[in-house]
Structure 1
Amino acid sequence: MDKLSPRERLGIGTVVPATCLLLLLHFGQDVLRPIAIAGVLSLVIAPLARKLTRTGMGRTIATLVSVVMVAVCMVCMSAVLAIQLVDVGAGLPQYRAAIMSKVESAREVVVRPFERFEAELKGVAPQATPAPAPVPAPRARSSTRSAAPAAPVASNEPLPVQIRQTPPSAGDLVSKLLASLWGPIGEAGIVFILLVFILLEHESLSDRFIRVIGVAELGPTVQALSDTAQGVSRYFMSQVIVNATFGAIVGVGLWAIGIPHAALWGSISALLRFVPYVGVLGAAALIAIFSAAVDPGWSLVLSSLTLFIVLELVVAHVVEPQVYGHSTGLAPLAVIVSALFWGAMWGPVGLLLSTPLTLIIVVVGRHVRALEPLSILLTDAPGLNAGQRFYQRALSDNTAAIIKDARLYLRRSTFAKYCDQVLLPGLALAGLDFQLGRIDARQRGRIDKTVVGLAETLAGGRTGKRFGRRRSTVSLADASLGSRLRQIRESRLGPYQGRLDVPSQSVVLCAGFGSERDELLTELLVRALRQDDVDARSVSLAEPPDPDMADKASLVGTVFLAYPRHDAVDAWRATAAEMRAALPHAAIATVRLPLDEAGASEEQVKDSVDLILHSYSEAEAFVLQSAKASA
C-alpha cells in the first residue's frame, strides 16, 4: 500500500475530525446545547458568586443564592413578556387595520407612480389583435322531437362527505399548552441543574481538565483557564449589565413617548442586543412597525427610531468602550460568520450564544496551539506584525501604503521607534530571505528602493506624487543601501553634512566600518536623531580620513560605534581605542539591536565603550537627555 504524502495526511487528519465535530454539534445539540448554555451562564454568574463569598457566605450558599437571584430575574422577565405578548395578541386586529392603512398609503406614494408609468407605456406600445375564437358547428337536429322531458340519467358518482371537527375542550387546550411548554421548561430545568453543579465544582473541573491535558501543557492550560474564567466572565457580566440597562432605558423612553407595551419592547431590545449587529437592527425594526400600527400618523415612528438610534450610538461609542473596551476583540466579519454558523447549528439559542462561544474559542486559542489558527482568523488584530507587513508591502511594491502607515505612525511616535518596531524588523526578514535564496536580487533591489524613497519622503516632507517621479531614478548598483542614503543626504546638506561653525561637543557622530550592515544602521540612526533636531552626522571608518576635519574633534560630543560582529571583535576594539584617543571628551556608545544575531556578546564589548544601548529609542533618549543636561 502506498504511503500518503504529508499534505494528504494533513488533509485527512483535518477534514475527518472537523466533519465529525460538525456532525456532533448538529445531531448532538439536544445534549450539547444545555451544557453550553449552563457554561456561559456560569461565566456570567461567577463574579456575583465570588462577591457573595467575600461577604462571608459559604461557597455553596453563595452559589445557590446567585443562581436563585438569576432564576428569579429570568422568571420575572418571562412573566412580563408573556403578559405583554397576550395583550399585544388581543389587539392584533386593530393593529392589522392600522398597518394595512399605512401600507396602502405608502403604496400610493412608492408603487402607484410606477404602475401608472407601466400602464402609460402599455397604452403607447402597439398591441397585437387577438384572433377571433372559432365558432362551434351547430349540432344536427333530429327529425322528430319528443315532447316528454328526458329522463334523468343515473349517476354513479359518490356523494361528498363532510367531516366536522368538534371544538376542543378546555382540557385539550391545557394539554396542548403543557405539551408545547414541556420542552423549554424541561431544558430550562436541565440548564439550572447543570449550572449549579458547574459553579460548585468549578475548581474540581479545572483540575480534571488540567489532568486530561497533561502536566507538560500545565502552564498554557492554567493561563487559558484563568483568562477564560476571569476575563471572559467579567466581559459577559458587563455585557449583561449594559444590555439590561439599555433595555430599561428604551422601555422608559417608549413609555414616555406614548407607545403601549413599552416593557415588552424594552425587554426585546435587551435580548436582541446580545445578537451581534443584526439584533439591534431587528429590535429597531420591530419597534418601528409597532409604532406605525398604533399611530395613525408617523410621529411615533420617527420619535421611537430617534430614541433608539441616539441611545444605541451613545452606548456603542461612549458606554461600552468605558465598561469593557472598544470591542470584543473579534473581527466584525468573524462575528457575522459565527452567528450564521451557530444559528444554523442550534437555531435561536445558537444565535444568542454565538458571540460568547466564539470569544471563548479566541481566548483559549491564544494559549492552546491546536486552536491558534481559529484565534488568528477570528480576532480583529492584524494577521501580520508591523515588520512582516512592511516586508510584504515592500515585496509587492506597495510603497504608497508603507508611506501612509509611516506617516500615521509618526503622528504619535518618533522615527526612532518606527525603526525599532517596523523598519528594522522588516529589513531583517528581507536579509534572512535573501541569504536563504527565497528572494532574488531584483526583489531585494525593489526593497532597497522602497527604503530609500521612504527615508527621503519622511525626511524631506515630500508628497507621494513627487516621490513617484523620483523613485525611478534611484540606483543602488554602485553603492549599498546605507551608502546611498548618506550620499543623498550629503547632496542636500554638503560634504560635511552640515556647518562646521557649531558649538563645541554639539555633534553626534555615528561611525560604521564600511560594511553594508554598518552603513545602513548608522544612516538610519542619524536620520532618527535628526528628526529630533539633533546635529547627527555619519562617517565610514573604512574611508580615508579627511585632513580638513583633523582639528574639528572638539565639535563631537557623542560617538555611536556600529555594534561589532562576533568575527570582528578584535579589530573593533582597536578602532574603539583609537576613537577614544582621538576624541577624549566624547562619550562613546554602541547600539546592540535585538534582531542582530551575528553580533558579539556584550561581555566582549562593554570594556571598550561607555554605554551599550539596545534600541534606537534608547539612543534617542540618551542623546536628548545629554543635550538637556549640558544646556
Structure 2
Amino acid sequence: MKVNFAVTTACILGILYFSQSVMQPIVTALVLSLALAPLIRAMGRMGLSRVHATFAALGVVIVAFVGAMAVLGANVMALSSDLPQYSAEIRAKTKRLEKMVQHPLARLAPTLMESVPAGPLPEAGPRPMPVEIRERTSTRDAIAKTIGVVSGPLGEAFLVLVLLIFILLDRENLRDRVLRLVGQRDVSRTIQGLEDAAEGVSRFFFTQLVLNLTFGVVIGLALWLIGIPHAALWGSVCAALRFVPYIGALIAGAAIALFAAAVDPGWTLAAYAMVLFLLLELVVAHVVEPRVYGHSVGMSPLAVIVSALFWGAIWGPLGLLLSTPLTLCIVVAGRYIKSLEPISILFAEAPHANAAQRFHHRVLSGEADAIIDDARAFLRKATLARYCDKVLLPGMALASSDLLSSQVDHFRATVAMVADTLAAGQAKGRGRGRRISLLNENIGAHLRHRREERLGRWQGPLDVPARSVILSAALPGMREEFVSELLVLVFREAGLDARSYVIKPDAEEDDPGAEQLISTMFVSYPVDSNLDTWAAAVAELRSALPDIPLATVRPREDVEVEHSRVAAQVDLVLQSFEEALAFVAPRHPG
C-alpha cells in the first residue's frame, strides 16, 4: 500500500513538473473561472443571460486591468523622467557606503600582511592580454528577439483568456462530465466539494483583492504625507506585489527604501519610509490577515507557506501566485475524497478534531492551561451546561478509554485543576484555579470540600425560602461524585441554590429540615456494576422525601446500563445537563 502511494505521488509530481507548458494555462484558467464565478452570478441576477453575463464580467475585469496598467504606466513614465537626478544621488550614496565598508578593511589588510612571513616573490612575467569576443547583432535578429520577448507573455495570456472563456461558457457541461467520471454513488459529495472549492477560492480572491488594494491606498497616502514623490505609483506597486505570497512584500519594501534613499540627500526619509512600511506590513500580516484569511482561506498559516514553497519549486513564479488557491482546492477536496484526506488534515485551518477530542488530547498531555483557555473561550459564547455536555464529559470518556496506568494520577490532577478553575470562577470571578499535583481524594470530593470550606458544612445558609434548594446526590465513587459536582456547578452558574450530598448507608447526619428546603433532587446515573446498590439507595431517598421530584441525567457514554430499570426508579431521565437546567429553571424563576 505504501509503495503504491509513493509511486502515485511520484507520478503526479512528475506530470506537474514536466508538463508545465500544458498544465499551467489550463490550471490558471480554471482558478480564474472560480474567481470570476461570483461576478458572473451577480451579472446574471441583473437579468443577463449566461453568455452575456460571462462576457460582461470578462469585459469589466479586462477594462479594470487595462485601466490600472494605463495609470501605472503613466506613473512609470513620470518616474523615468526624474530618474537622472535620482541616479546621481544613488551613486553618491553607494560610494559613501563603499568607503564606510572599505575603510576598516583597508586598515585591516596591512596588519594581516605584516603577520604573514616573507617569502620569495614570484618572478614577474608578461601578463596575458584579455581577449573579448563580440558578436555582431543584425537588425533582423534584434527584431526577432524583441518579438519573442513580447509574444511569449502576451501569447500565454491570450491562451489563458481563450481557455477561460471556453471554461466559463461550458461550465455546466464540464461539471456534468466530472460527475459522470466520479459515478452516481458519490454525486452529492462531489457536488458539495465543487461548490465548497468554488466558494473558498472566490472568497479568497475577493478578500485578497480588497485587502491588498486597501494596503496600497494606505501606504500610498503615508508615503505622500512624508514627502516621497510618486507615492501613488509605489502604493500601486505594493498592492500588486502583495499578491505574491511573502516575497512580494519584501520586494516592495526594498524598492520603496531604495527610492527614498535616492530622493533624500540624507537617510532620514528612507528610515521614515521603512518604518512606515514595516509597521503597516506587521499590522496587516499579524493582526488583519489572520482574522480575515482565517475565515476566507480555511488554511493554516504554515500551510500557506508550505504551499508557496511547493508550487514555487514546481511551477516557478506562476506557481507562487497560484499556490494558495490550488492548495485550497486540494484541502476542500480532502473533505470528500478519502485519498486526499491527509492533506486536508495537515493543511486545513482547524484539524478534523472537535472540542471534545482536543480536550482528550490535551488532558492526556497534561496541558491544563490550554484546556482552561479553551474553556474560557467556550464559556464566553455558551453556558457551562453546554461545555459539560459537548466538551468535558465526552472528552473525559475518550481519555478514560485509552488511559495508561501511569497516567491516572496525571489525568486526575489535570481534570481537578480544570474543574477547580470552573468552580473558582463562580466564587471569585474568572480566576485560574490553583495548581494541583496529586489528590488524596477523588475529584468530586475535592470540589465538594472546597465548597464547604467557603460556604460551611451545609454549603450555604439554612435560612432560605422553602423549596429553593436543588440537591444533587451521588453514591460514593469517583465518577458519580464528579458528575454530581458538575451538575451543582451548572446550577450555581445559572444563579440557583444547588448543593451536593453523598449517599452513605451507615452515616448518621443531622437533618436540617431538608424536606422543607429541597425543591428538586437529582441522583447520579448508575453504572452497570452498582445498579442494585443504586436502586436501593434511590428507594430510601423516595421513602425519606416522597413529595420531592427525583430526576437523573444520563450521560451519552453510559449506554451499557439497563435503561428501563433506571427509569422505573426515578420520575424523569434527562439526556444532558442543558435539559436538566431547562427543567429546573422554571421552578426557580428568581
Alignment partner for residue 471 of structure 1, among 437, 455, 475?
A: 437
TM-score (norm 1): 0.79
Q: Amino acid of the residue matched to residue 525 of structure 1? A: L
Structure 1 residue 117: Cα displacement: 7.8
Partner of 1:456: 420
Partner SS, residue 63 of structure 1 = helix
Query: Aligned equivalents of 2:535 and 2:9: distance in 1?
Result: 60
Query: Aligned equivalents of 2:568 and 2:107: distance in 1?
Result: 92
Moved more, 246-255 or 185-194: 246-255
Q: Amino acid of the residue matched to residue 446 of structure 1? A: H
Partner SS, residue 299 of structure 2 = coil
Moved more, 325-334 or 366-375: 325-334
What are the within-5 Å matches in structure 2 for residues 114-193 of structure 1?
115=105, 118=108, 122=111, 127=115, 130-131=118-119, 165-166=135-136, 168-169=138-139, 171-193=140-162
Tell whether 2:511 aligns with 1:549. yes
Tell whether 2:486 aligns with 1:524. yes
Query: Aligned equivalents of 1:174 and 1:447: distance in 2?
Result: 77
What are the within-5 Å matches in structure 2 for residues 70-469 of structure 1?
70-81=61-72, 94-106=85-97, 111=101, 115=105, 118=108, 122=111, 127=115, 130-131=118-119, 165-166=135-136, 168-169=138-139, 171-248=140-217, 250-251=219-220, 254=223, 259-262=228-231, 264-302=233-271, 304-305=273-274, 308-309=277-278, 312=281, 328-382=297-351, 384-403=353-372, 405-406=374-375, 415-434=384-403, 439-440=404-405, 442-460=406-424, 467-468=434-435
Query: Aligned equivalents of 2:145 and 2:311: distance in 1?
Result: 30
Partner SS, residue 563 of structure 1 = coil
Partner SS, residue 508 of structure 1 = strand
Query: Aligned equivalents of 2:543 and 2:123: distance in 1?
Result: 126
Alpha-carbon contact 2:29-2:161 (below 8 Å) kept = yes
Cα separation, partners in 2 of 1:323 and 1:200, compared to 1, 3 Å: farther
Alpha-carbon contact 2:294-2:300 (below 8 Å) kept = no
Partner SS, residue 216 of structure 1 = coil
Query: Aligned equivalents of 2:290 and 2:475: distance in 1?
Result: 51
User: RMSD across aligned C-alpha pairs, in angstroms?
Assistant: 4.1
Query: Aligned equivalents of 1:325 and 1:132: distance in 2?
Result: 70
Query: Aligned equivalents of 1:55 and 1:238: distance in 2?
Result: 23
Alignment partner for residue 19 of structure 1, among 10, 15, 18?
A: 10
Moved more, 315-324 or 297-306: 315-324
Cα separation, partners in 2 of 1:564 and 1:282, compared to 1, 3 Å: same
Query: Aligned equivalents of 1:503 and 1:450: distance in 2?
Result: 38
Partner of 2:24: 33
Cα separation, partners in 2 of 1:174 and 1:241, compared to 1, 3 Å: farther
Structure 1 residue 348: Cα displacement: 0.9
Moved more, 523-532 or 341-350: 523-532
Alpha-carbon contact 2:525-2:553 (below 8 Å) kept = yes
Alpha-carbon contact 1:563-1:599 (below 8 Å) kept = no
Alpha-carbon contact 1:565-1:599 (below 8 Å) kept = yes
Q: Which is higher, the Rg of structure 1 or of structure 2?
A: 1
Structure 1 unpaired stretches of 5+: 1-8, 137-158
Cα separation, partners in 2 of 1:235 and 1:89, compared to 1, 3 Å: same
Q: Amino acid of the residue matched to residue 270 of structure 1? A: A
Structure 1 residue 609: Cα displacement: 5.1
Query: Aligned equivalents of 1:549 and 1:41: distance in 2?
Result: 77
Alpha-carbon contact 1:505-1:557 (below 8 Å) kept = yes
Structure 1 residue 78: Cα displacement: 4.1
Alignment partner for residue 43 of structure 2, among 19, 35, 52?
A: 52
Alpha-carbon contact 1:556-1:583 (below 8 Å) kept = no
Tell whether 2:505 aligns with 1:540. no
Alpha-carbon contact 1:43-1:236 (below 8 Å) kept = no
Structure 1 residue 545: Cα displacement: 5.9
Q: Amino acid of the residue matched to residue 149 of structure 2? A: S
Q: Amino acid of the residue matched to residue 520 of structure 1? A: F
Alignment partner for residue 63 of structure 1, among 54, 71, 80?
A: 54
Q: Amino acid of the residue matched to residue 18 of structure 1? A: T
Partner SS, residue 522 of structure 1 = helix
Tell whether 2:545 aligns with 1:583. yes
Q: Amino acid of the residue matched to residue 577 of structure 2? A: Y
TM-score (norm 2): 0.84
Partner of 1:146: none
Alignment partner for residue 594 of structure 1, among 553, 556, 560?
A: 556
Alignment partner for residue 505 of structure 1, among 467, 476, 489?
A: 467
Structure 1 residue 521: Cα displacement: 1.3
Alpha-carbon contact 1:400-1:464 (below 8 Å) kept = no
Partner SS, residue 539 of structure 1 = strand
Structure 1 residue 342: Cα displacement: 0.8
Alpha-carbon contact 2:257-2:273 (below 8 Å) kept = yes
Cα separation, partners in 2 of 1:519 and 1:84, compared to 1, 3 Å: same
Query: Aligned equivalents of 2:259 and 2:52: distance in 1?
Result: 44
Cα separation, partners in 2 of 1:576 and 1:208, compared to 1, 3 Å: farther
Structure 1 residue 12: Cα displacement: 0.7
Query: Aligned equivalents of 1:409 and 1:583: distance in 2?
Result: 38
Moved more, 127-136 or 614-623: 127-136
Structure 1 residue 428: Cα displacement: 0.2
